[in-house]
Structure 1
Amino acid sequence: MSSLASIGSSGMRAAQMRLDASAHNVANANTPHYRRTAVEQEAAPDNAGVRARMERESNEKVALEKEAVEQISATYSFAANLLSVKTESRLMGSLLDERA
């Protein structure tokens, strides 16, 4: 059984990858023949987290409005996963206090 912290940390890593890819897309938006980079995420049932990998999209151009939405979404995802890690830490502290 995986801990909430490992689930949350895998989510934070995926959100950071999404932010990095989107920033890279914005920085290269005007580069000729640049292909947009996207992050594909999938559930990882073996460790109850998420797997993420970067992929180049075939012919999709960079749309700045799409990148802005992606960055906002990734930021909220990071914050939500961080909250789950903090919650587990607080709960574990309470459990250890109770048993001490």
Structure 2
Amino acid sequence: MSTVSLSTALSGMSAANERLRASANNIANVATPGYRRERIEAETAADGNGVTTRVEKLPAPGEDLATDIVEQKSATYAYVANLRVLQTQIRAEGALLDIHV
């Protein structure tokens, strides 16, 4: 299994998980006075393989329920897409091992 594609898919899953966590936290705190929404910023990892994330607190309190719900859906799709990459890698490696044994 390619270490690069494995680390890229795993970092993508981790980033999607962070996006899910932040948007869920925003939704859970929608009625909390003074709560500042979180946003996850992702950037390419220093080694060029995958992504790194950081949490950013938005400057002013407020709610944006529609954005948070869309973020939940988008992050879920990103997580599943990266999971499929991992599953494909595992199947491909298994097929190669079957051929060479």
- Check whether TM > 0.5: yes
- The residue that corresponds to 1:84 in the other structure is 85
CA RMSD after TM alignment:
1.5
Query: Counterpart in 2 of 1:71?
Result: 72
Q: Distance in 2 between matches of 1:53 and 1:5?
A: 21
8 A Cα contact 1:2 1:48, kept in partner:
no
d(CA) in 2 for partners of 1:78 and 1:17? 10
Question: What TM-score comes out, normalization by structure 1 length?
Answer: 0.92
The runs of at least 4 consecutive aligned structure 1 residues that moved more than 4 Å come to: none
2:97 equivalent in structure 1:
96
Q: Percent identity?
A: 44
Q: Which residue of 1 aligns with 2:28?
A: 27
* Matched residue count: 100
Give the match's secondary structure for 2:47: coil
Structure 1 residue 2, shift from structure 2 partner: 3.6
- Contact persistence 1:15–1:77 (CA under 8 A): yes
Offset, 1:40? 0.5
| Structure-2 separation of matches of 1:15 and 1:36 | 17
- Calculate the TM-score normalised by the size of structure 2: 0.91
Q: Distance in 1 between matches of 2:46 and 2:14?
A: 17
Query: Could you give the per-residue CA deviations for residues 35-70 of structure 1, whole angstroms, max 9, x where no partner exists?
Result: 000100011151511101111111152211111100
What corresponds to 2:62 in structure 1?
61
Q: Which residues of structure 2 form unaligned runs of 5+?
A: none
Alignment-mate amino acid for residue 35 of structure 1: R
